[in-house]
Amino acid sequence: MQMSAAGLELLKRSEEFCGHAYLDAAGLPTIGCGHQPVHPECSPNGIAEPQGAALLANDLRGAEEAVARLVKVALSHGQFDALVDFCFNIGAGKPAASTLLKDLNACLYAAVAGQLLRWDHVGMQ
């Protein structure tokens, strides 16, 4: 499954494209729509939106793959989109051992909603 067009548009609105490098809320170098460059990636002159869209598509693939690998229950497309956005923002590794994932895979959906709220602060572990 891939993130839907509606999910992608929502993510783009929340991330807001920025063509020059900046420090995000966690103090990490970021460019485009939430892309965090890795060495030796460098854009001293900034990037245009098409390049930002390509970076975002590549970053989302990793988040989509993480959701597909970690989640063992059926998801609606909206649930999948939300989890991809979640993994995109916190990284694919952090949810792997989380109570959120354990609750989700146990079909404890009401508990999952509460667990998502525990991750709404920069720097959460």
Compute the distance between CA of residue 56 and CA of residue 86 in angstroms, rounded to an integer.
14
Q: Is 15 a catalytic residue?
A: yes
Compute the distance between CA of residue 122 and CA of residue 19 in angstroms, rounded to an integer.
22
State the CB neighbour count (10 A cutoff) for residue 25.
9
Helices (H), 16-98: 49-70, 77-90
Q: Are 97 and 66 in contact (CB under 8 A)?
A: no
**Which residue is catalytic, options 9, 15, 64, 65?**
15
Tell me the catalytic residues.
15
